[in-house]
Amino acid sequence: MRCCYIIVVGWLLTVCVPVSAARHFKFSRLETAARMLGVSDSVRTDTLAYTYYVLYKHQPLKIRQGIRGRVEHIGIPLFNHDYEAAFPSPVFECLEYLTLCQQYHLTENTLPLADIKFFTGSWSVLFGVGDRKTVTLETVKDRYYLVTWQEGRQTIVQLALPVNYELLTCMSRKQLCQDFVCRLNEVASADAPPVDYQHPQQSYYLIPEITPDQNIDSLGCLIFDRSRPQESMANLMLAASHVAPLATLQLELVLDHDRRERLSIPFRRWNALCRSFGCQPYFGLEDSSGETMRGVQIMCNIPTGYDHVLYVECQKDELGKKDIPLKATAYLYVPSSNVKALFASPKKQQSRTKRQNKI
């Protein structure tokens, strides 16, 4: 087998690139890791996701590229492709990347690693496990993941890591928000493929008023008609972007330290980007008594333990138009525990302002 040649990294990643330019790395931490190691592979131009390997100090490094050749993952191979395909989870990329960082000292902040508990083995043992051992991944009480590598009947490594989005994505909330805003500005995000983590969607989110239910007519078609504004609004917020009418989102993003950013984007771009991270949409109508429809969409990411909360409003008479204007305020990467405190109250009719303040 011929060895892969190592190519010195020559790519420079900016904080936010122009729409016309290709973004070679999904996250800046991947570009940093590649630069510190001094290895990378040529960024290809096809749009299909695939995985390949390069050698670094006689150790194979796993690299996956996705849409438009963008590098989506770099790590030490620990899981084989068939297992990843059968049981998709954010745990795979997290552990492969963190093992890479531990082995080659790529991160200065090792504090989050203290949340990962080894029952058998250690980081150094995990580094040498490879992707040919038998591995099992379990979710325990939706609070943490238990991962076990075995050879025959012998357990080589067993560890537990919490369902914590900052740990599982290997990024801080501030970094995640910055990246999310950048990608909202990219036209390509409207076509971002969804991630299926195979978590069954619940019948409602925290309270029965917030559901994933869509409304159909007697012919089995989704309802989009201003004569039925409640059903139309729910369908608009829940339907896949290629099914729903066009809508333009006048969006205010509430970021760290009450910093705010305003964007005008197609709603389908917001929808597609959230779904590409594995989020499942829920929607609840808050007020439809007047001419303005008000509701809340929750993009719920069960595997990583965060939600995007979008407060949205629309005029009833706009629902019959070809391009529906929506006004919205979004809170990104809200820990699920915070959202539970927000909605799991017996006083379901509390004001929207109070709800936002709790976030």
Structure confidence by residue, pLDDT tens digits, 83-98: 998 899 999 999 999 9
Please give the Cα distance from 256 to 189 (Å, whole number): 23
Give the three-class secondary structure for 106: coil
Check residue 284 and give its pLDDT: 94
Work out the pLDDT band at 335, boundaries 50, 70, 90.
Answer: very high
Range name among 12-26, 120-134, 226-240 with the lowest pLDDT average: 12-26
Contacts of residue 59, defined as CB under 8 A and 6 or more positions apart, other chains included, come to 76
Please give the Cα distance from 161 to 118 (Å, whole number): 9
What are the tens digits of pLDDT across the range 249-282? 999 999 988 789 999 999 999 999 999 999 999 9
Check residue 40 and give its pLDDT: 63
Q: Which of 70 and 176 is assigned the larger pLDDT?
A: 176
Please give the Cα distance from 187 to 175 (Å, whole number): 21
Q: Strand 246-254 to strand 323-335: parallel, antiparallel, or no bridges (unpaired)?
A: parallel
> In terms of Cα–Cα distance, which of 207, 179, 186 is closest to 298?
207
Tell me: pLDDT of 142 over 90. no
Work out the pLDDT band at 126, boundaries 50, 70, 90.
Answer: very high
Residue with tokens 């809170």: 331
Check residue 2 and give its pLDDT: 37
> In terms of Cα–Cα distance, which of 242, 246, 239 is closest to 265?
246
Task: Report the greatest alpha carbon distance in the chain.
Answer: 70
Q: Which of 343 and 144 is assigned the larger pLDDT?
A: 144
Q: Strand 246-254 to strand 260-266: parallel, antiparallel, or no bridges (unpaired)?
A: antiparallel
Give the residue-averaged pLDDT of 187-203: 82
Contacts of residue 119, defined as CB under 8 A and 6 or more positions apart, other chains included, come to 158, 159, 160
Tell me: pLDDT of 185 over 80. yes
- In eight-state DSSP terms, residue 189 is G
What are the tens digits of pLDDT across the range 274-284? 999 999 999 99
Check residue 191 and give its pLDDT: 79
pLDDT over 70 percentage in the chain: 85
Tell me: pLDDT of 78 over 70. yes
Mean pLDDT (the chain, rounded): 84
Check residue 7 and give its pLDDT: 32
Tell me: pLDDT of 358 over 70. no
Give the three-class secondary structure for 88: coil
Highest mean pLDDT (candidates 1-5, 11-15, 112-116, 282-286): 282-286
